[in-house]
């Protein structure tokens, strides 16, 4: 009951990139947990310059030292990405530790781990995972599978999940029909205007933070609790713009890993020989899921997919997870 009341009393606060979370010298009447995004802490030096003293990503606690000590903040905190923080005030915290004293012990453990990381920079928080998903013989079913998997992953992860799709849902479903109730997975808004506007804003490819925020502005929150981003603005680029975008992929994925606990990339129709942009996606991945129908012999696209990608990626078979659909009616 105490924990339930505590969870009802706290609130989530949105901070746009560049907004201050708190200033140096402010009264620490609350502390924060970073739900997603990134916040930097700066200390003002004697010459007036700002020195970076802390980087807080997903799951990090922020401002708790001054809060527990009853002191003013000794540094300022600023969101460097669009971020969502959980704000815990004095009244909510006092009520919780009065009934659940072990909550204070847990916070002390967090402080201890942070001190240890300060002494040993090699110890870092576990980064978010990035998984690729391909269904070479049936990309439309792959789209459906990607959404179902995303719903499952939301239940298994403690942080937000992103489904990043490289093909248009409408394109994938154009020559297919699915049982009633499944059409909603293909009923996503077209982004043709945004696709054209990226071609007119090539400067975004040199600024990964702004590119990420622009793509997120196209995000479709899904009923299953995950975010959905249509990545066609990147996939529709022509050379040499596409090659230029390939240089930004690593930084873009790094930002996504900070914002989400898991990123699932559905490659859609892009199962042929990968170009530089797709190669960067695959190199950055932790797992590559390759799906097929168990009731049918593996098709040529499935065989070519494995051949091409194994020749490109030395660790392809180490990352590969074969997904076999035993029963289509399950989806």
Tens digits of residue pLDDT in 104-156: 666 656 544 554 444 344 444 456 789 999 998 888 888 888 988 998 988 88
What is the CB-side half-sphere exposure of residue 300 using CA atoms within 13 A? 0
CB 240 within 8 A of CB 250: no
Domains of the chain: 2-119 (2.60.120.10), 129-330 (3.40.50.300)
C-alpha distance from residue 298 to each of 137, 176, 302 (Å) = 8, 20, 6
Please give the pLDDT value at position 195: 46
Backbone angle region of 18, left / alpha / beta, with phi > 0 → left and psi within -120 to 50 → alpha = left
Following DSSP, what letter does each residue of 7-35 receive, concatenated?
A: HHH-EEEEE-TT-EEE-TT-B--EEEEEE
Tell whether pTM > 0.85. no
Tell me what the pLDDT averaged over the chain comes to: 79
Which 8-state DSSP code applies to residue 167?
A: S
Closest CA to 233 of 265, 272, 202: 202
Q: What pLDDT sits at residue 52? A: 85
Q: What is the pLDDT of residue 328?
A: 53
Instruction: Report the distance separating Cα 135 and Cα 267, nearest Å.
Output: 8
Write down how long the chain is.
Answer: 331
What confidence score (pLDDT) does residue 287 get? 94
Burial 118-139 (b: 16+ CB within 10 A, else e): eeeeeeeeeebbbbbbbbbbbb
pLDDT, residue 102, reads 74
Q: What is residue 331's predicted lDDT score, i.e. its pLDDT?
A: 47
Q: Give the pLDDT score at 185.
A: 60
pLDDT less than 50: residues of the chain: 111-112, 115-125, 194-196, 329-331
């Amino acid at each position: 009951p105490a924990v339930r009341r505590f969870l009802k009393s706290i609130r989530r606060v949105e901070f746009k990139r560049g907004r201050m979370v708190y200033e140096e010298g402010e009264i620490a009447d609350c502390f924060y947990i970073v739900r997603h995004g990134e916040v930097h802490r700066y200390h003002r030096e004697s010459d007036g310059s700002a020195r970076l003293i802390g980087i807080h990503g997903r799951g990090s606690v922020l401002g708790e030292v001054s809060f527990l000590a009853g002191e003013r903040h000794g540094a300022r905190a600023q969101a460097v990405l669009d971020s969502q923080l959980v704000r815990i005030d004095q009244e909510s915290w006092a009520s919780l530790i009065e009934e659940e004293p072990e909550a204070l012990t847990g916070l002390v453990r967090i402080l201890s781990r942070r001190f240890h990381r300060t002494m040993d920079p090699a110890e870092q928080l576990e980064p978010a995972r990035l998984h690729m998903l391909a269904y070479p013989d049936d990309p439309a079913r792959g789209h459906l599978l990607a959404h179902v998997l995303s719903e499952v992953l939301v239940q298994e992860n403690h942080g937000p999940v992103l489904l990043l799709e490289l093909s248009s849902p409408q394109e994938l479903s154009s020559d297919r029909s699915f049982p009633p109730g499944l059409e909603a997975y293909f009923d996503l808004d077209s982004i043709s205007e945004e696709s054209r506007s990226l071609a007119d804003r090539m400067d975004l490819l040199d600024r990964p933070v702004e590119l990420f925020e622009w793509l997120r502005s196209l995000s479709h929150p899904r009923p299953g609790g995950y975010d959905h981003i249509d990545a066609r603005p990147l996939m529709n680029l022509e050379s040499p713009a596409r090659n230029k975008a390939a240089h930004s992929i690593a930084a873009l994925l790094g930002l996504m890993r900070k914002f989400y606990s898991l990123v699932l990339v559905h490659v859609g129709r892009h199962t042929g020989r990968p170009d530089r942009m797709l190669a960067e996606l695959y190199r950055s991945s932790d797992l590559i899921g390759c799906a097929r129908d168990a009731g049918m012999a593996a098709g040529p696209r499935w065989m070519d997919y494995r051949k091409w990608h194994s020749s490109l990626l030395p660790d392809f078979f180490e990352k590969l997870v074969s997904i076999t659909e035993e029963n289509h009616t399950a989806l």
